[in-house]
Structure formats: structure tokens, C-alpha cells
Structure 1
Amino acid sequence: MSFGHGTGPPVVAAMKPIVLVVAGHVTRDAVPALCAELETLLSAPGTPPVPDGAPPAPPGPVECDVGGVDRPGLAVVEAVARLALITRRSGRQLVLRRVGPELQGLLDVVGLADVVGLGEPGEHGLHALP
């Protein structure tokens, strides 16, 4: 009997989250660059190919650290909405971590808090970014 040497189980690669850090003052002009950065992260090599006939592993979440955002406003809300769309199109879920009270309030007002995952302390290492 012989076994092919794989790169490891696809579940392991799928469980490793993609992390995008959003920091500083976010303007509407910065939103397309954030979206492009996320698309690059999503298309980066590292996810092993799925063998023919095997079911693909479920993709892991995309974690977005927004703890370093200064003066959150509607541009950040637009960025979160667009990042959530890109993430969903890839079959993943966007999870925000280190969400400050101002941004939390804005997300609640526009209804995005129900669309994206909001990390809780201790959940999947959220709020534990060095």
C-alpha cells in the first residue's frame, strides 16, 4: 500500500484565520485599498488544493482588528460593510475584534452589528492581539 504525501489536512489550513488590521484615521479614499488588501489576503497561496472528489474544508473566518481606528465615522462603517461583502463572497465570515464603544454604536445604528461577527473576549483569541 502506498500513500501520497500531502501538505496536511485541509481542515488545519481552513481553521487558520486571515487577519486584517485597520488602524488610524480611515477615510473614504482609504476604503478601496482596504478592500484590495483583503482580496489579496484571500487569494494568497497557503490553502492546499482539494483532491478530486474530496469535500472542501470549510473556510475559516476573516478577523478584522479595528482597535487602532481613530475617530470612527461613516467611512469605517462603509469599510466594514464592503469588507463583509468581500468576505461573504469568499464563503467566509468577517469577525471584528477590539471594537471600541464608538464604532460599536455606529455599527448598531446602521444594523451592521447583526451582519458581522463581533469578537468576545476569550473567543478564538479575539481581543488578544499583541
Structure 2
Amino acid sequence: MSSAAPSGLPLVDAAMTPAVLVLARPVTRDEVVGLCEDVRGLLAATGAGVVVCDVGGLGPPGLGVVDLLARLQLAARRAGGRIRLRDPDPALHALLGLVGLRFEMEGEAEQREPPLGVEEEVESGEPPV
């Protein structure tokens, strides 16, 4: 018995697209627990394994923002997922690197992928590889 192949891409499911959590204003310490629950709920609802956190409205970065993002990432990891940051302030990106936290940023090449169009510099006198 044979059946026709399904049309479209079989592994693409609209429900598997990452959910977006918009952080439109500075967050108080009391709101952090609720946001962690939101992240866990979004991961469970979408099944995508990623929640995109739009951090463009958080305001100037500080240690409170670092604490919030670390807790959101921990909640996501415990739920089997991760968070990806959208629209981070360059100062936030630098502060996260300074405290040793690595977050995936939207639009950034993955760690294992080399950036496109970049060639390694060769010292003069060395043969090309």
C-alpha cells in the first residue's frame, strides 16, 4: 500500500515558532517570579524550546537587569529550553559579558557558524591555507 507524500515541509510546525516575552519597562524584584513562570508557561505552550525576550524597553542596564535575565535563563533551562535576547542595548551586551553570562542574541550567528564574508588574515610570507 502506498500513500502520497505530504505537501510542504514535514518538520515545520507553526506552533514551534518561539514565543516572545516583551519586557517593555523596568521590572521590580516582585515581578521576577511571575516572569519566570511566564517563561516556563511559554516554553510548555509552544514546544519550541526558545522564548525570545524583547529587552529593548528595559531602560539602562544594571545589575537588576542582569539578575532578571539570569533568573529567566535558569527558569528556561530547568524547563528544558533557553531564552534569546532581542534588541539588547549595547551596554547590556557588554555588561553581560563582563559578569560572564552568555546569551544568544537574535540576529547573531550561532557559535559554531563562522560569520559570512570574513576571511582570516594571513601573515606576509606565509603560504595561503
TM-score, L = length of structure 1: 0.65
Q: Which runs of 5+ in 2 are unaligned?
A: 4-9, 111-129
CA contact (8 A) 2:55 2:86 kept: yes
Q: How many angstroms apart in 2 are the aligned matches of 1:122 and 1:68?
A: 23
Deviation string 1:40-61 (CA, Å, 9 cap, x unpaired) is: 22333x65xxxxxxxxxxx442
2:64 pairs with 75, 93, 96, which one? 75
Which residue in the other structure is 2:76 paired with? 87
Is the CA contact (8 Å cut-off) linking 2:40 and 2:79 kept in structure 1?
no
Deviation for aligned residue 1:72: 2.0
Q: Quote the sequence identity (%).
A: 49
What letter matches 1:119 in structure 2?
E
Cα RMSD between the aligned structures? 2.9
Moved more, 59-68 or 34-43: 34-43
Which residue does the alignment assign to 1:109?
A: 98
User: Paired residue for 2:35?
Assistant: 34
Matched residues in 2 for 1:11 and 1:60: separation? 14
User: Structure 2 CA distance, aligned partners of 1:10 and 1:91?
Assistant: 20
Q: Rate the CA distance shift 1:14–1:117 in 2: closer, same or farther, 3 A.
A: farther
1:60 and 1:40 map into 2 onto residues whose CA distance is 11
Deviation at 1:120, TM superposition (A): 2.2
Partners of 2:56 and 2:88 lie apart in 1 by 6
- Is the 8 Å Cα contact of residues 20 and 63 (structure 1) preserved in structure 2? yes
Alignment of 1:1-130 (within 5 A): 11-13=12-14, 15-44=16-45, 59-112=48-101, 114=102, 116-120=103-107
Conserved 8 A contact 2:43-2:49: no
Per-residue deviation, 1:80: 0.6
For 2:66 and 2:99, the matched residues in 1 are separated by 8
Spell out structure 1 runs of 4+ moving beyond 6 A: none
Secondary structure in structure 2 of the residue aligned to 1:69: coil
- Larger gyration radius, structure 1 or structure 2: 2
Shift of 1:20: 0.8
Distance across 1 between alignment mates of 2:17 and 2:70: 23
Structure 1 residue 28: deviation in Å?
Answer: 2.2
